[in-house]
Structure 1
Amino acid sequence: MADHEKTLSVIIPSYNEGKTICHILTRVLSVLLPFEIKKEIVVVDDGSADETGMLVESFIREHPEVPIKYVVHDINRGKGMAIRTGIKHITGEYVIIQDADLEYDPHDYSLLLPYLHSGEYSVVYGSRFLNRQNRHSYPAFYWGGRLVSFIASLLYGQVLTDEPTCYKMFRSSLLKSIPLDCTGFEFCPEITAKVLKKGYKIKEVAISYTPRSMEDGKKIKWTDGLEAIWVLLKYRIR
């Protein structure tokens, strides 16, 4: 396939994101990617109880020219399961995970893509910690992310500054080749562990970050950090 025909698949796992889902879809659509790479969007509604589904369906009707796939879980099954569902529906050569909130800026796709497009890497992570201008919502989340990254680096022999980052971009063929067990936020440590155990190097690139508070709907908890450490240990031992 010619370079100008390549596609980036954007998986957006969503759970009760009615306040932001249309904003993030608009942001993703507004991004012009390098190398004439196209976009396809896969929204996975993970059993939302708010107006998320209605808003996505309305957005699709208003933008019939845009390749948006909308998949619904009948019950809330967790972010990891939503990502696994999304993987089944992607067709692009590259894929990135995009949270439905507004913490990450889709314009940063263009910072990550060149490393995949060059063929030098198959995995690129966007690091919030490499950009010193970024602020962080809670000290516990900042230091928790640092700790998880340190443990991942220690266990798997590659220095990572931001293992828990949402912005994980892959060659789709690689992501599809890795069997996943995750259902919740443990997607991040599981995919990191399995990619590194396969011998792939993860390229990190500085990205922007605008954190939201618990009051704004942030769902991750400090206990998810403990689970991440356990997952990293589990797959290292296996």
Structure 2
Amino acid sequence: MTKLTILIPAYNEAQTLGQIIEGVLNVPLPMQREVIVIDDGSGDETQKIAQSFKGPEVTFLRHGLNRGKGAAIRTGLARASGDIVLVQDADMEYYPSEIPRLLAPFIDPEVQAVYGSRILKAGNPKFNLRFYWGGRLISWWTNRLYGSKLTDEPTGYKAFRAGLLQSLDLSADGFEFCAEATAKMLKRRIRIVEVPISYRPRGFHEGKKLSVWDGLTALWTLTKHRLF
């Protein structure tokens, strides 16, 4: 039977982590699941909340210091035993109830990666035009560089065949980890399937951590992997 690994990188996400873990454990799936929570050096109650869910389906890992989202994903990936790996942010911007939507295309054995597109779903809110158009710019630049047709490259909802993800030799520590994965797949001419997903953006007062610098770093990451 196919097995799904859900990686949840978390940094100071005590307010929402419990809801996310409950959500990924309760969503009906046609396969086995394992959940790996990686606390990336949080200073709040993230560790306590994650440890309260430890059990047969939930593994808890921790960084002593904050190393970045990419580093946390790599730590979790090293322990993953699933055939498919899905990254679930811990901030409730993406709904665990929509995990089956990301998994559906994998019924085709040729599908290697699936991205949840916020753009393809009509009616999703845009809380901050700077981030909305920044995301559109990153997608446009990705398509210009690699000849792809992605609508939402910087989406936080991504799923991969485990063997593919492990073969990419990913090294980025921060949010640019996702751009690195995209670039390396497209450079290999691996098709990325997109499916529409719902999205609930949060504000900085709720703990949003992305910055303009993260967007610029993603653009540079996409560019350097195309050139070198």
* TM-score scaled by length of structure 2: 0.98
Q: Which residue of 2 aligns with 1:10?
A: 6
Q: Quick one: which of 145, 151, 154 aligns to 1:161? A: 151
The structure 1 residue matched to 2:102, chosen from 109, 112, 120, is 112
Shift of 1:171: 0.5
Separation (CA, whole Å) in 2 of partners of 1:229 and 1:56? 33
Match of 1:103 in 2: 93
Between 112-121 and 82-91, the greater mean CA deviation after superposition: 112-121
Which range moved further: 115-124 or 42-51?
115-124
Corresponding letter in the other structure for 2:40? D
Q: Deviations over 1:31-85 (max 9, x none)?
A: 001xx2121101000000111101111222xxx3x41111110100000100111
Which consecutive unaligned segments of at least 5 residues does structure 2 have? none
**Counterpart for residue 60 of structure 2:** 70
- 2:204 is aligned with 1:208: no
User: Which letter does structure 1 place at the counterpart of 2:148?
Assistant: Q
Describe the SS at the equivalent of 2:123: coil
1:86 aligns with 2:76: yes
User: What SS is found at the alignment partner of 1:225?
Assistant: helix
C-alpha displacement at 1:153, in angstroms? 0.5
1:1-238 pair list within 5 angstroms: 5-33=1-29, 36-60=30-54, 64=55, 66-238=56-228
Give the count of matched residue pairs. Answer: 228
Identity of aligned residues (%): 47
Give, as a single letter, the amino acid of the residue that structure 2 aligns with 1:195: M
Task: Report deviation, 1:207.
Answer: 0.4
CA distance in 1, matches of 2:116, 2:165: 17
Q: Gapped runs of 5+ residues in structure 1?
A: none
CA distance in 2, matches of 1:54, 1:109: 25
Aligned to 2:75, the other structure's residue is in SS state helix
CA offsets, 1:73-108, max 9 Å, x none?
A: 010000010011111011010011000010001121
Which residue identity does 2:216 align to in structure 1? L
CA-to-aligned-CA distance 1:163-213 (integer Å, 9 cap, x gap): 000111100010011101201000111000001111100001000001110
Displaced runs of 4+ in structure 1, greater than 2 A? none
Partner-residue secondary structure (3-state), 1:134: coil
- 1:120-169 Cα offsets, whole Å, 9 max, x none, are 31011000011121002200000000000000011001111000001111
Structure-1-length-normalised TM-score? 0.94
Distance in 2 (CA, whole Å) between partners of 1:57 and 1:227 is: 33
Equivalent position SS for 1:215 = helix
